[in-house]
Structure 1
């Protein structure tokens, strides 16, 4: 078994594409630190779509010895990465001020994402890893999506992206996401659960290399409804979804009592937990692995991961942001790309 200082690095024919994220946040800092830790973390080559001048300013400010190499072609990153951080230049119109987003930089932030998606769809990047964005700063540039995930779905012509939070200990998928709990219950139906679980099972096979994914389907109510005494939804909405999934050949189990799904013995019995609402999914994974959780978007024709945190304006510019979640996102993206290559999926055709 590889140790933390002797990790197996997947062999990829193209680099990972890492976007800058919000320039006033911590994206630049954690990207530079990830490159500094590339060997001990076992990172595959990645290409950073960013402004090299702002990266150099950050490195100089904190005394980080990170040689930068501006590359003209993504493929050049494979040979450059060991000795320098390869950067595909995306110039910023305004000099970023830590913690203070500037709307003038919004078009460059969006361009970096669009370019990275294009590189992935053309097979010139193995996977997409995104640093956190700040939606409010992007609205003046025409950003009209609820979040990063929806923007990527639009770029990929996908109508139903699915959010997974993943770590070495647990994978969770919320069926409903950023809505009030009362609204989540209104939105929940059998079709939505089935569609979410189908996409999850498909991507666990194609992108994670799990040939027969096991899905644990959480109940909505305490004790999964306690035979109807604590709500009818588990019997009328969740159980029919499980039956349909099993009829389709998907190994789905449930509805399971949510309070007994996440201890170590229970987690060993499934590959992903399908949860009914946001906190039901995110509380257990953030409790188990707060610093190394990864946001994965399922249902896209490209692989996309992201750190499971925001722009952290409160600590931006201080050089104290931890790169752990970004490193985990880079490692997971590389592993997923390697599994996809092994499974014979032609990325460029999607």
Structure 2
């Protein structure tokens, strides 16, 4: 029996949204935690896949597995990003892992320095190309009409958890300083559970109150609906720390240019992937900012937040709106570079099969 561990009942992080597809396409049964533990017999297990080895639930389960059971771990965050507790969970269980999977070359090098005995592999993130397809002009017009966006005003989208690690400080400054810009900021934030609503709804309302005529809230209550990134003119990502963010690849696949912070060395890898250089602009952080810290400590100074917001606004003002042909070209380049879901899942399945074929204990 091959299983995928699932410590949460509601999607909260990027890997959670992949779990269902991963289980179906790679023939993994989902084992969901009950009251913080995985129940059931482990005698029939042959392969265990964890996407959350920093969670105590997954770590404890993997540590207790019989030696004949093969294990594969997907690691999604830079090591410094984890809390001390998460690091302890990761360290405890990685000695039991046969193969580790990451999504960027720099991340493989980083983790190999910390955990040299793990066989690390790189499989790039892949996008559901149908779900994030390039919108037609009529679809874009319909979206603008629904949001009551005037002609000549750019639709700028920001998406994700409204927290400091994701650039909340910069978003606040952006909203405060955007009054002279011909744009609306569409804030897509998680609202698919009561926990998510409680965490982010008040913050979203606060951001809208700063610029009520230009900030449009887009609570993401139903994850199966059409994705708004398809209709945006620009996508901004002010995050302070990333590995290989799915949201950026989703924007590329939808043909939408990206303005962001240089929050990951993965962005340096894009030039070798033939993604058009005009499709993205990543603004560096001032050298005095130390961002190699735990998630809870990830903040920038007020002056840095202000500077980044001003730079983002300037870039959004000067960035031309892509033609339909340009959006198609960017989407095709993303596909050619291998950032599509079928390629990713095929890579995962190959590694799972390799793990199963490992002999000995």
TM-score higher than 0.5: no
User: Which structure is higher in RCO with an 8 Å CA cutoff and minimum separation 6?
Assistant: 1
TM-score by length of 2: 0.28
Scaled by the length of structure 1, the TM-score of the pair is 0.29
